[in-house]
C-alpha cells in the first residue's frame, strides 16, 4: 500500500474525526495533502502541523504569561550582539581569533539552537564533553548570555516553547495522529510527542528502498515501509520487477549535461511538459542550471520552491546595494555594482569604464565622506594643472576631466543624502527609503 492509499483508508475509517498529519515542514504536508486531493479523494478535518505548531498551540492556550516568539532573523542578530559583547569583554578562550561576522553569528545561532533543542542548557552542558575544554567554556558562556538575554527581553525560542508545552501537555485520545515516516525531530520535540500521542498512532508508509542498509530509529522517527515500486530497485537491479520498470541510469560529468540529457529524453518521448516533473537532490546547482536553460531556450519551466530573487535585475540591485552598505560604501563594492549593469545613469554621465578609473585614481577606499573629499581634492589638482597648461589639446582634456569629476561629485553628494550611515545598527526605515530611491531614480 502506498502513501495515498493508506491516507484514503484512514480518511474513510475516520470521516469526521479530527486528523492531524505531523510533518517536518509545511511544504511536505502541503505536497502530501495536495497529491491526495488531486487524485480525486476528499477528506474532512485533515490538517497538517509541525511539532512546533503543536507546542505553540499548547502554550498559547494554557500559559497566561505573555511572550514574544524568537524568529530566526532576530535570533541571528541577537547572537551577533552577544558574540561582539563577549569578545570585546575578553571572555573568550577558544574563539579569541574568530572575527564576529554575520555568517559566523548565523552558524553560532544554529549551534546554540541545536544544543538547546537537544535538551542542553547552561546548567547541564559539561565543558569536559568537548574535545577542547576552552571551547566548552566559551559555548557555556555564549549559551548563558543567550538565555539571560531571552529572559530580559521576555522572548521564547523554540526550546523554551517546547519545554513550556511539555509542562501542560496531556495525552490526546480524541485526535487521529498520522505521522510522516522518517520524521526528523529533536530530543525536546520527541519528548513532547511522547506525551501527546495516544497509545496507537498511524504512520504513512514509504516505498521500500532495496539494496541499501537503512539504520533503525526510534518509534516516532521510524519508517513504515509500503510495497515496492519499480524505483525501489535502483540499488538492487538484479532483483528488479521484471517488465514493470522503465528506468534509465545516466552518468554525466556536469549538472548541465545531466539536465540537458533529461530534457532530450522528454523531447524524444514527445511528452508534454505539463506532465513532466523533475526532482533534484539539492536546489543548487540544478535550479540555476534549469533557469539559465529556460531563459536561453524559452522553455516554460516552473519551480516548486520558486527561484532566488537575485536571478532578477531587481533582486540583483538590492543585493549589490546591501553589499555596498555592508562594506561601508567601499569603492570595490560600488565597482561591482557598476559592472553588474543594474544602475541606470542619467544622460551626460561618464562611461562606466571612466567612472571606475576616476574612482580608483581618487584613492577613496571607503566611507561616504571620503567620496566627497577625495573627489574635491581630485578637482583641485586638475584646476592647478589648468593654470599652468599651455597646450590647447591638453587644456581641453583637463576641462573634460574636470567636468567628469564634477559630475561624479554632484552625483555622489545627491545619493549619499538618501543612503543611511552604516555601523553596527542600520535604521530599517532609512534602509527601505534608500532602496526605494534606487528603484525610482537609478533603476
Same domain? For 117 and 169 the reply is no
Note whether 319 and 302 are same-domain residues: no
Mean pLDDT per 10-residue run, the chain (443 residues)? 88 92 92 90 90 92 82 89 92 89 89 95 92 94 95 92 94 92 92 92 89 81 84 75 65 90 90 87 86 87 83 85 88 90 83 91 90 94 88 89 93 90 73 83 68
pLDDT of residue 242: 59
Whole-number pLDDT of residue 424: 58
Nearest of 323, 401, 320, 418 to residue 362 by alpha carbon: 401
Residue 236 lies in a domain: no
10 part of a folded domain: yes
CATH of the domain at 207: 3.40.50
Report the alpha-carbon distance of residue 274 to residue 204 in Å, rounded. Answer: 28
Q: Do 333 and 419 belong to one domain? A: yes
On whether both 283 and 399 belong to a single domain, the answer is: no
Residue 402 lies in a domain: yes
Element containing residue 410 per DSSP (H, E):
helix 392-416
Select from 193, 210, 225 the last residue of a domain.
Answer: 225
For residue 233, being part of any structural domain is answered with: no
What domain range is 179 assigned to?
Answer: 3-63+165-225
Please tell me the total count of domains within the chain: 4
The answer as to whether 178 is a domain residue is yes
Tell me, yes or no, whether 172 and 273 share the same domain: no
Q: Give the domain-ending residue among 306, 332, 347.
A: 306
Name the E strands within 223-364.
224-225
CA dihedral 190→224→237→242, nearest 10 degrees, is -160
Specify whether 57 is located in the same domain as 187.
yes
- In terms of domains, do 174 and 56 share one? yes
Q: How far apart (Å, rounded) are the C-alpha atoms in residues 28 and 343?
A: 40
pLDDT at residue 443 in the model: 60
187 and 146 assigned to the same domain: no
Residues 277 and 329 in one domain: no
**Which residues have C-beta within 8 Å of that of residue 320, sequence separation ≥ 6?**
333, 336, 337, 340, 342
Is 230 part of a structural domain of the chain?
no
C-alpha cell, 20: 492531524
Q: Is residue 243 in a domain?
A: no
Listed in sequence order, the residues at least 6 apart from 129 whose beta carbon sits closer than 8 Å to its beta carbon are 136
Note the Cα 279 to chain centre separation in Å: 20
Spatial distance between the Cα atoms of 149 and 153, rounded to a whole number of angstroms: 6
Q: Do residues 301 and 320 both lie within one domain? A: no
- Pick from 289, 306, 323: which residue ends a domain? 306
What cell numbers appear for 155 in the block? Answer: 522572548
Same domain? For 364 and 421 the reply is yes
Residue 266 shares a structural domain with residue 352:
no
Amino acid at each position: 500500500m502506498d502513501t495515498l492509499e493508506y491516507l484514503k483508508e484512514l480518511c474513510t475509517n475516520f470521516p469526521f474525526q479530527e486528523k492531524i498529519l505531523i510533518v517536518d515542514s509545511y511544504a511536505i504536508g502541503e505536497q502530501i495533502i495536495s497529491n491526495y486531493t488531486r487524485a480525486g479523494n476528499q477528506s474532512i478535518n485533515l490538517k497538517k502541523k509541525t511539532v512546533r505548531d503543536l507546542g505553540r498551540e499548547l502554550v498559547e492556550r494554557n500559559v497566561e504569561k505573555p511572550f514574544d516568539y524568537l524568529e530566526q532573523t532576530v535570533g541571528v542578530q541577537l547572537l551577533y550582539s552577544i558574540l561582539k559583547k563577549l569578545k570585546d569583554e575578553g571572555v573568550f578562550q577558544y574563539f579569541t581569533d574568530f572575527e564576529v561576522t554575520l555568517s559566523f553569528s548565523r552558524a553560532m545561532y544554529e549551534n546554540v539552537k541545536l544544543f538547546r533543542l537537544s535538551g542542553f542548557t547552561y546548567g547541564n552542558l559539561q565543558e569536559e564533553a568537548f574535545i577542547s575544554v576552552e571551547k566548552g567554556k566559551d559555548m557555556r558562556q555564549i549559551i548563558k548570555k543567550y538565555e539571560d538575554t531571552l529572559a530580559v527581553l521576555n522572548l521564547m525560542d523554540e526550546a523554551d516553547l517546547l519545554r513550556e508545552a511539555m509542562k501542560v501537555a496531556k495525552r490526546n485520545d480524541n485526535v487521529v495522529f498520522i505521522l510522516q515516516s522518517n520524521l526528523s525531530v529533536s530530543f525536546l520535540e520527541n519528548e513532547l510527542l511522547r506525551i501527546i500521542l495516544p497509545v496507537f498512532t498511524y504512520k504513512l508508509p514509504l516505498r521500500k528502498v532495496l539494496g541499501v542498509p537503512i539504520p533503525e530509529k526510534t518509534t516516532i522517527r521510524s519508517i513504515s515501509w509500503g510495497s515496492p515500486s519499480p524505483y525501489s530497485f535502483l540499488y538492487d537491479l538484479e532483483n528488479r520487477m521484471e517488465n514493470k520498470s522503465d528506468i534509465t541510469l545516466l552518468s554525466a560529468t556536469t549538472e548541465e549535461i545531466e539536465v540537458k540529457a533529461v530534457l532530450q529524453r522528454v523531447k524524444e518521448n514527445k511528452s508534454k511538459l505539463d506532465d513532466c516533473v523533475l526532482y533534484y537532490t539539492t536546489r543548487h546547482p540544478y535550479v540555476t542550471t534549469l533557469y539559465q536553460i529556460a531563459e536561453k531556450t524559452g522553455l516554460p519551466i516552473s519551480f516548486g520552491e520558486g527561484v532566488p530573487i537575485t536571478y532578477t535585475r531587481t533582486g540583483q540591485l538590492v543585493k549589490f546595494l546591501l553589499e555596498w552598505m555592508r562594506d561601508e560604501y567601499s569603492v570595490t563594492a560600488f565597482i561591482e555594482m557598476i559592472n553588474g549593469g543594474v544602475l541606470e545613469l542619467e544622460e551626460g554621465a561618464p562611461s562606466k569604464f571612466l567612472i571606475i578609473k576616476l574612482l580608483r585614481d581618487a584613492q577613496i577606499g571607503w566611507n561616504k565622506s571620503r567620496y566627497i573629499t577625495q573627489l574635491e581634492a581630485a578637482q583641485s589638482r586638475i584646476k592647478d594643472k589648468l593654470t599652468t597648461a599651455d597646450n590647447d589639446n591638453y587644456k581641453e582634456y583637463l576641462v573634460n576631466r574636470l567636468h567628469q569629476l564634477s559630475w561624479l561629485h554632484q552625483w555622489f553628494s545627491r545619493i549619499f543624502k538618501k543612503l543611511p550611515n552604516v555601523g553596527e545598527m542600520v535604521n530599517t526605515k532609512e534602509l527601505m527609503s534608500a532602496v526605494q530611491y534606487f528603484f525610482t531614480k537609478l533603476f
